[in-house]
């Protein structure tokens, strides 16, 4: 990992989308054990994946992971917390007027 | 039988199947799409994985046994209680605000699920991974249930974000605990307050989803219990400088709730709820609950409390007025409004808090 340079790697991944009444969820799992670190960017390749209502769809794709530089990683670790309020839910969007 | 995209051999085929399905649906009603955009982030997974729940083992096992037994399984189903909703007859502003409520709630549940699942996947500690797996299950179930209500209203969620580029930010584990714990507990207080109010005024229940609020918020309650236990494993999390962080989160969460609720007047009017009174009641309940783990609560009866909440709300409305406007005057107006919001927050934060003895065992039951 360079201080200023980003490294690009690809990873095979499985995308699972459940669009069922019992469960609405979606996940991306890297199949080569790759893990995402602060500041990294992930881009799953290929067209949008859809799951019709009532179905679970699972597809194998390739993901491009742009690894953050050491500086970016540090910056993200230092400043990421400032957005932590986004974890809170308030039932409504932040728009003042709809 | 219709083919579905799970049977499709290529992604293109899957999309074609989906488009056909959506267009079939569009003929019966105009479906509006909303893109779900959960946040993606990382944390110190190793630190979370190293949590040792032995100090709270007894309470932990009781909670896990209950969550594993899944008392709400089968509850989130439409049955004869799901009355017909007259979407066309609903007052347009109310409809807009109510749909905003459904979409925001669905996004929160969905984001919670993404977060919990990621923690489960990155961990190897059996206690921790089990907890996050169970919470992910509940959140996905809630999201599915809300999604169905949205579909009835003609809103289809789009999960296209998965194939878009996403940047992962970073939150410290302790901030995740404070934010998520409070979020779950205030969620419980919000829903149970509405549920009890509508028990007394069933004529104001303009949508059947409110009937499901009790079980829904009992799940939130249980999740909050789990985070209280996690915090209890490390006394440092609720001591020293962290008490200032706790106060920050309490103030920020309460103030944000107050501001957001006031932005949805039609929703609250339809339920016969005054957002200011409702806010105080929810804050009181949440404070009572949070005594289980936090050594302080906010003094919400201090006259400065409501006064500065009102100031913040007004400044926020003024800020929205000038947002996006061009010109030097608008820039200055924005700056002034931001300063007013910031000042109100600081004044809220400066109100002395109340201190408490924290009980040995945090365990609580939902009693409201």
Which CATH number goes with the domain that contains B47? 1.10.620
Give the pLDDT confidence of A33-78 residue by residue, as tens digits: 999 999 999 999 999 888 888 999 999 999 999 999 999 999 999 9
Q: Is the ipTM of this structure higher than 0.85?
A: yes
Number of domains making up chain B: 1
Give the pLDDT confidence of B175-205 residue by residue, as tens digits: 999 999 999 999 999 999 999 999 999 999 9
Is B49's pLDDT higher than 80?
yes
Q: Does residue B330 sit within a domain?
A: no
Closest of A82, A10, A79, A89 to residue B220, by C-alpha: A89
Q: Does residue B44 sit within a domain?
A: yes
Is A82's pLDDT higher than 50?
yes
Is B60's pLDDT higher than 80?
yes
Q: What is the DSSP letter of B73?
A: T
Q: Does residue B347 sit within a domain?
A: no
C-alpha distances in Å from residue B95, one per residue of B87, B90, B138, B153, B278: 7, 6, 27, 9, 21
Q: Does residue B124 sit within a domain?
A: yes
Provide the percentage of residues in chain B whose pLDDT is more than 70.
Answer: 92
Q: Does residue B284 sit within a domain?
A: yes
Looking at beta carbons, which residues of chain A come within 8 Å of B145? 21
What is the pLDDT at residue B29? 53
Is A98's pLDDT higher than 90?
no
Is B5's pLDDT higher than 50?
no
Predicted TM-score of the model (pTM): 0.89
A28–B162 C-beta distance less than 8 A:
yes
Is B17's pLDDT higher than 50?
no
Residue B88: CB atoms within 10 A of its CB come to: 7
Is B237's pLDDT higher than 90?
yes
Q: Does residue B19 sit within a domain?
A: no
Query: What is the least distance, in Å, from the CA of A55 to any CA of chain B?
Result: 7
Looking at beta carbons, which residues of chain A come within 8 Å of B319? 96
Query: What is the least distance, in Å, from the CA of A62 to any CA of chain B?
Result: 10
Q: Does residue B342 sit within a domain?
A: no
> Is B149 within 8 Å of A22 (Cβ atoms)?
no
What is the pLDDT at residue B332? 94
Token pair belonging to A12: 């095979």
Looking at beta carbons, which residues of chain A come within 8 Å of B254? none
Residues 6+ apart with CB under 8 A from B367: none
3-state secondary structure of A61: strand
Give the pLDDT confidence of B124-155 residue by residue, as tens digits: 999 999 999 999 999 999 999 999 999 999 99
* B83/B127 Cα distance (integer angstroms): 41
Q: What is the mean pLDDT of chain B?
A: 89
> Is B185 within 8 Å of B290 (Cβ atoms)?
yes
Give the pLDDT confidence of B328-345 residue by residue, as tens digits: 999 999 999 999 999 999
Residue A46: CB atoms within 10 A of its CB come to: 15
Query: What is the least distance, in Å, from the CA of B5 to any CA of chain A?
Result: 6
Is B360's pLDDT higher than 70?
yes
Q: Does residue B148 sit within a domain?
A: yes
| Band of pLDDT at residue B50, cut at 50, 70 and 90 | very high
A92–B260 C-beta distance less than 8 A:
yes
| Band of pLDDT at residue B256, cut at 50, 70 and 90 | very high
Domain that holds residue B92: 31-302
């Amino acid at each position: 990992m360079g201080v200023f340079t980003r490294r690009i790697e690809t990873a095979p991944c499985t995308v699972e989308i459940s669009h069922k009444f019992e469960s609405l969820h979606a996940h991306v799992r890297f199949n080569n054990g790759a893990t995402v670190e602060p500041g990294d960017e992930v881009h799953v390749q290929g067209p949008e994946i859809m799951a019709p209502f009532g179905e679970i769809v699972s597809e194998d794709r390739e993901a491009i992971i742009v690894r953050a530089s050491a500086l970016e990683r540090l910056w993200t670790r230092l400043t990421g917390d400032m957005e932590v309020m986004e974890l809170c839910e308030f039932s409504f969007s932040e728009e003042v007027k709809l | 039988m219709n083919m579905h995209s799970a049977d499709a051999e290529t992604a293109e085929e899957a999309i074609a199947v989906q488009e056909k399905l959506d267009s079939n649906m569009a003929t019966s009603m105009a479906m509006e799409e909303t893109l779900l955009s959960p946040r993606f982030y990382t944390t110190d997974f190793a630190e979370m994985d190293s949590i040792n729940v032995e100090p709270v083992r007894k309470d932990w096992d009781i909670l896990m046994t209950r969550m594993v037994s899944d008392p709400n399984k089968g509850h989130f189903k439409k049955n004869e209680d799901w009355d017909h909703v007259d979407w066309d007859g609903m007052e347009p502003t109310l409809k807009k605000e109510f749909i905003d409520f459904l979409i925001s709630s669905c996004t929160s549940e969905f984001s919670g699920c993404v977060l919990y699942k990621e923690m489960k996947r990155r961990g190897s500690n059996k206690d921790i991974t089990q907890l996050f797996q169970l919470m992910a299950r509940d959140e996905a179930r809630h999201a599915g249930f809300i999604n169905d209500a949205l579909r009835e209203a003609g809103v289809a969620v789009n999960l296209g974000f998965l194939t878009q580029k996403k940047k992962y930010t970073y939150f410290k584990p302790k901030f995740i605990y404070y934010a998520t714990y409070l979020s779950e507990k205030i969620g419980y207080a919000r829903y149970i307050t509405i549920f009890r109010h509508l028990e007394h005024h069933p004529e104001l229940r303009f949508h059947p989803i409110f009937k499901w609020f009790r079980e829904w918020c009992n799940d939130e309650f249980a999740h909050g219990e789990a985070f209280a236990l996690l915090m209890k494993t490390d006394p440092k999390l609720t001591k020293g400088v962290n008490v200032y962080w706790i106060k920050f989160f309490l103030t920020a969460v309460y103030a944000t709730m107050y501001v957001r609720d006031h932005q949805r007047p039609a929703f609250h009017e339809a339920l016969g709820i005054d957002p200011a009174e409702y806010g105080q009641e929810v804050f009181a309940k949440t404070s009572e609950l949070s005594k289980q783990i936090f050594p302080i609560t906010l003094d919400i009866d201090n006259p400065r409390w409501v006064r500065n909440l009102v100031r913040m709300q007004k400044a926020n409305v003024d800020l929205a007025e000038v947002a996006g406007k061009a010109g030097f005057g608008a820039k200055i107006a924005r700056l002034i409004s931001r300063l007013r919001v910031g000042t109100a927050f600081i004044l809220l934060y400066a109100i002395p808090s109340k201190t408490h003895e924290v009980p040995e065992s945090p365990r609580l039951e939902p009693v409201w």
